[in-house]
């Protein structure tokens, strides 16, 4: 059970199979409780009874332990990327903002320039991994069941199946959710948040943790701007108000507007990683 978001992922599948249960690589939600005492008390709460006064402190401790463990595993992922000069990006957004479409178009544009591999995260189905494979890149699908985010251990397991080549671009599509994926480092070089113009300008203000955690924002579906009420300048201003360092690209993944700038940024990022 994830104490950050309350999700549980006992139905986790990686490419349709339950992950191996070896201790160190076990996805975080599968691990034995950090502290049996705390877990039992959390699970035993009768919803009709008020929690004991000390519970918030225990919950915080558990959340802290879980995130600290995730950070350790993310650091191990990051070491592997550095050793193999791999550029890893973590794509986060609400469901439907265009992550998979963006990945498909990115793969189609760059697949002859560098090895590209994808880790797909969704609660159910292998639909996105199939779209990615059809675009010409190997993909591993993680199904998180009831879980609402990927964690570093899941990504480590998926990487074993991908057998990453040196100098690859690794694109990780997180579960569609603007809340919990903000807290879980996967070892990526950059977190890329995608906001589509049908979601409303106010999302950076409503979900500040995600926009603060991100390094790059893609404002997608800009081809729809003539047809809807959405103030793109205001959305960008809100995002920069939360995170002044955010790099912003306005794009249409389907029509291709703005894509050359995004692709050039990716190329220069990969070139830096290769040279490092
Ligand atoms: N008009 C428009 N539709 C888009 C764009 N990008 C994605 N879509 C559509 O948005 C829907 C959700 O896209 P998808 O890539 O599956 O989103 P994901 O859930 O974030 O992976 C699909 O119907 C896409 O065709 C875009 O730039 N413009
Ligand atoms: Mg998708």
Please name which of 196, 178, 181 lies closest in space to residue 144, comparing C-alpha atoms: 181
* The pairing of beta strand 190-196 with beta strand 216-220: parallel
Q: Decide: 216 in ligand 1 pocket, CB within 6 A.
A: no
> Could you tell me the residue ranges of all domains in the chain?
72-275
Query: Which of 91, 92, 98 best tests ligand 1's pocket when mutated (most atoms within 8 Å of CB)?
Result: 98
C-alpha 135 to ligand 1 mean position (Å): 15
Residue 173: per-residue pLDDT: 98
Whether this model's pTM surpasses 0.75? yes
Q: Is the CB of 252 within 6 Å of ligand 1?
A: yes
pLDDT at 110 over 90: yes
Q: How much is the pLDDT for 15? A: 87
Select 72-275's CATH number: 3.40.50.300, 3.90.1150.10, 3.40.50.720, 3.40.50.1240. Answer: 3.40.50.300
pLDDT tens-digit series, residues 87-100: 999 999 999 999 99
Q: Is residue 177 within 6 Å of ligand 1 at its C-beta? A: no
220 within ligand 1 shell (Cβ under 6 A): yes
From the CA of 24, how far away is ligand 2's center (Å)? 29
pLDDT tens digits, one per residue of 111-169: 999 999 999 999 999 999 999 999 999 999 999 999 999 999 999 999 999 989 999 99
For atom 7 of ligand 1, which residue has the closest CA? Answer: 98
């Amino acid at each position: 059970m994830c104490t950050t978001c309350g999700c549980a992922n006992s139905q986790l599948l990686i490419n349709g199979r339950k992950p191996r249960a070896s201790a160190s690589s076990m996805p975080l939600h599968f691990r034995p409780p950090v502290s049996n005492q705390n877990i039992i008390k959390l699970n035993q709460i009768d919803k009709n009874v008020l929690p004991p006064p000390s519970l918030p402190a225990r919950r915080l401790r558990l959340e802290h332990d879980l995130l600290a463990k995730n950070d350790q595993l993310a650091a191990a992922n990051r070491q592997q990327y550095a050793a193999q000069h791999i550029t890893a990006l973590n794509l986060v957004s609400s469901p439907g903002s265009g992550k998979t479409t963006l990945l498909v178009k990115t793969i189609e544009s760059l697949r002859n320039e560098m090895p590209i591999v994808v880790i797909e995260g969704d609660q159910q189905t292998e639909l996105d991994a199939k779209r990615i494979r059809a675009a010409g890149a190997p993909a591993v699908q993680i199904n998180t069941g009831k879980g609402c985010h990927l964690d570093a251990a899941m990504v480590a397991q998926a990487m074993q199946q991908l057998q990453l080549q040196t100098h690859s671009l690794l694109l990780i599509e997180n579960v569609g959710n603007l809340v919990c994926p903000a807290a879980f480092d996967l070892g990526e070089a950059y977190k890329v948040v995608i906001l589509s113009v049908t979601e409303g300008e106010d999302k950076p203000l409503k979900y500040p943790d995600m926009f603060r955690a991100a390094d790059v924002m893609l404002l997608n579906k800009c081809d729809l701007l003539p047809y809807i009420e959405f103030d793109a300048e205001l959305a960008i201003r809100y995002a920069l108000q939360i995170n002044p360092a955010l790099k912003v690209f306005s794009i249409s993944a389907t029509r291709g507007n703005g894509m050359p700038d995004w692709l050039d940024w990716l190329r220069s990022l990969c070139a830096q990683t290769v040279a490092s």
